[in-house]
Structure 1
Amino acid sequence: MLRVRPLHFTSRLDSWGRLLTALGMVRTENDSGWQVFDAGLGRLALHAVPEGAAEDGSTALAVEVGDLAEFARRTNLAAAEDGTTPAELVAADHGDACRITAPDGFSFLADKAAHGAQCADADPALAVVGVWFTEDPASASRTLQQVGARPRPVPDQDDTADFTAKNGGVLMVRPASGAPRSGLGFEYDGGLEPLRERLASAGIQAGITEEAFARTLHVANPDAGAAAHVPATLWISQRHA
């Protein structure tokens, strides 16, 4: 199995909880500063940090798998023709995990899923999106295919690449200068106006923009102002078949 489950660090858990609930996500884990919200496709984990901490407002790309050892074996087998072994079983702070390290130096963790099925009450049209920004999008794309992500067509023909995970969520590769880093977004398979109205009824303002390849709903980031690197808004792109 493979499911997208980014890890977001925040000093504003309550504000994130209100936003994610308004988006149609359902909290399925809540344990001492650790919360997990299910979307229809994918999950988002929230990790509480003190206000002003270096991690505050940042997101780490992460996925969930069924069996860590089997996931590592399959990933390294898929990468064998490149002469690499990107997957390594490690003991992380929170327990056993598998670390995947790409040629650009970027790494992310695969954790064993705490529970398998998505919450049936979550909005089925909402998907969690993990983004990988890198100067080497080609090798990032190869790495995602090696872990089992499935390529999907994108409307533009530049260095962008989109992938879906078998058990939910979207992974995107986007070219960017500087050190590789991760980002967070969402997709919605439906009209954005009803979603905007749902947010408004929860007291959350959002605006729709017409972009080159998709309409996008921009929502105020609960972490805005936490640090210079934190974007002012979060994006929810309209999914096109």
Structure 2
Amino acid sequence: MLRVRPILFTASFENTVEQLRQLGLACAENDGDRAVLDTGNGKVGVCRQAPDHRGTLLAFELRDPVIFVQRTLADGTHAELAETSAGPGARVNAPDGFSFELASSNDLRLPDPGAPLAVVVTWRTPNPTAANKVLADIGAKFVQDRADGGALFRAKNGGFVATAAGWSSGVELGIMRDGEHLPLGGGGESRPL
């Protein structure tokens, strides 16, 4: 099981949650400081901005962190069991030092084939080829190549991640409706952890 669930850290928590709801995302959780919104094809986590976190972080959900770490290490990408922002899970470290978390989840639903919305995260990196290997090693399925050397990958349980060339590693959150990108206010790039 693998689902895209980027985390958006924002000083405008309530406004961000409302903006995502207006785009059509369903609020699955909200405790006032952390919310999870679902498109039916990937989820988005929203957290109040903290001093050590800003912008958007790449993150996923998975079923079994122990098996995930074993398989990812066997495929050649560094992974370890770790505490995530949503509880127990795993952390993956890309060759350039960029890292992301994968939180354990019991939600094994596959993407809704009729869902008009989808989460599409863009991982900008100086080395798209290495990022492509990391995504393949964690179980994301290759969809298509991109002109800049990046590629588009699909997570089995929902959401997409595109790799793209960039001067430094960072993440951009996108929501698509019927193949068209929807405007998101603000935005931001992550930084290596």
Q: Same fold (TM over 0.5)?
A: yes
Residue 172 of structure 1 corresponds to: 162
Name which of 168, 178, 181 aligns with 2:170.
181
2:171 partner letter: S
Following TM superposition, by how much is the alpha carbon of 1:189 offset from its aligned partner in structure 2, in angstroms? Answer: 2.0
Give CA-to-partner distance per residue, 1:89-142, whole Å, 9 cap, x none: 12346532211001111110011015333797xx81111112211111100000
Shift in CA distance, 217/119, structure 1 to aligned 2, threshold 3 Å:
closer
Residue 102 of structure 2 corresponds to: 110
- SS state at 1:3 partner: strand
TM-score w.r.t. length of structure 2: 0.87
Mapped to 2, the partners of 1:92 and 1:217 lie a distance apart of 28
Residue 10 of structure 2 corresponds to: 10
Shift in CA distance, 166/64, structure 1 to aligned 2, threshold 3 Å:
same
Greater strand proportion: 2
Following TM superposition, by how much is the alpha carbon of 1:157 offset from its aligned partner in structure 2, in angstroms? Answer: 3.2
1:186 partner letter: I
Can you give the 5+ residue segments of structure 2 that lack an aligned partner in the other structure? none
Shift in CA distance, 16/67, structure 1 to aligned 2, threshold 3 Å:
same
- SS state at 1:167 partner: coil
Give CA-to-partner distance per residue, 1:66-110, whole Å, 9 cap, x none: 01101111111222xxxxx41111234653221100111111001
Identical pairs, percent: 34
TM-score w.r.t. length of structure 1: 0.70
Larger radius of gyration: 1
TM alignment of 1:1-241, pairs within 5 A? 1-49=1-49, 53=51, 55-56=53-54, 58-79=55-76, 85-92=77-84, 94-113=86-105, 115-117=107-109, 124-154=115-145, 156-178=146-168, 180-189=169-178, 216-219=181-184, 221=185, 223=186, 230=188
Contact 2:89 2:104 in 1 (8 A): yes
Contact 1:7 1:46 in 2 (8 A): yes
Mapped to 1, the partners of 2:183 and 2:36 lie a distance apart of 22
Shift in CA distance, 168/119, structure 1 to aligned 2, threshold 3 Å:
closer
Contact 1:2 1:148 in 2 (8 A): yes
Mapped to 1, the partners of 2:85 and 2:20 lie a distance apart of 26
